């Protein structure tokens, strides 16, 4: 028997597994973006999903979360629905990097985006749907 121990890495999650972990979120409409990110962090931890928070992709380019395997989680929180054009441009900029394999956008109200951005799968996760509110 060898004395060398092998590090056991957690399995690389799929976007669907990350979405499943996020589906347990229940947030109030008054929670701020930072608090929402903390709750997302807790749900990822509880699901055993490895990630880096505030991942620096490039100078002046920081992601909210980069999940192991290259899944970007971008969080948009605010009183108004974010601009589809601006969000798409931001996500396309991120998706141009090889590290990014899939995108999950977490927003209050559902935002319709292309299913692929820069050839990478994009999932929109609307928080209001969790409460049965389709906005």
Share of the chain above pLDDT 90, in %: 57
- Number of structural domains, the chain? 1
pTM score, whole prediction: 0.84
**DSSP characters over 29-91:** TT--HHHHHHHHHHHHHHTT--EEEEEEEETTEEEEEEETTTEEEEEE-SSSPPPHHHHHHHH
CATH number of the domain encompassing residue 118: 3.40.960
Residue 24 pLDDT > 90: no
Nearest alpha carbon to residue 55 among 20, 109, 8, 97: 97
**Where in the sequence is the domain holding 50, given as residue range(s)?**
15-131
Specify the 3-state DSSP secondary structure of 23. coil
The answer to whether residue 67 is domain-embedded is yes
Buried b (16+ CB within 10 A) or exposed e, 53-79: eebebeeeeebbbbbebbbbbbbbbee
What's the chain's average pLDDT?
Answer: 85
List pLDDT tens digits, range 75-126.
988 766 778 899 999 999 999 999 999 999 998 877 889 999 999 999 998 8
Residue 17 pLDDT > 90: yes
The answer to whether residue 1 is domain-embedded is no
The answer to whether residue 20 is domain-embedded is yes
């Amino acid at each position: 028997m060898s004395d060398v121990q092998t590090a056991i890495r957690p399995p690389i999650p799929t976007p669907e597994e990350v979405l499943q972990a996020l589906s347990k979120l229940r947030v109030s409409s008054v929670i701020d973006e930072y608090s929402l990110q903390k709750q997302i962090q807790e749900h990822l931890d509880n699901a055993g999903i490895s990630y880096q928070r505030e991942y620096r992709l490039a100078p002046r380019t920081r992601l909210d979360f980069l999940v192991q395997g290259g899944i970007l989680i971008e969080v948009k929180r605010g009183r108004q629905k974010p601009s589809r054009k601006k969000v798409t441009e931001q996500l396309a900029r991120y998706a141009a990097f090889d590290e990014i394999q899939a995108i999950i956008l977490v927003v209050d109200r559902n935002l319709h985006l292309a299913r692929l951005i820069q050839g990478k799968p994009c999932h929109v996760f609307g928080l209001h749907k969790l409460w049965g509110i389709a906005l």
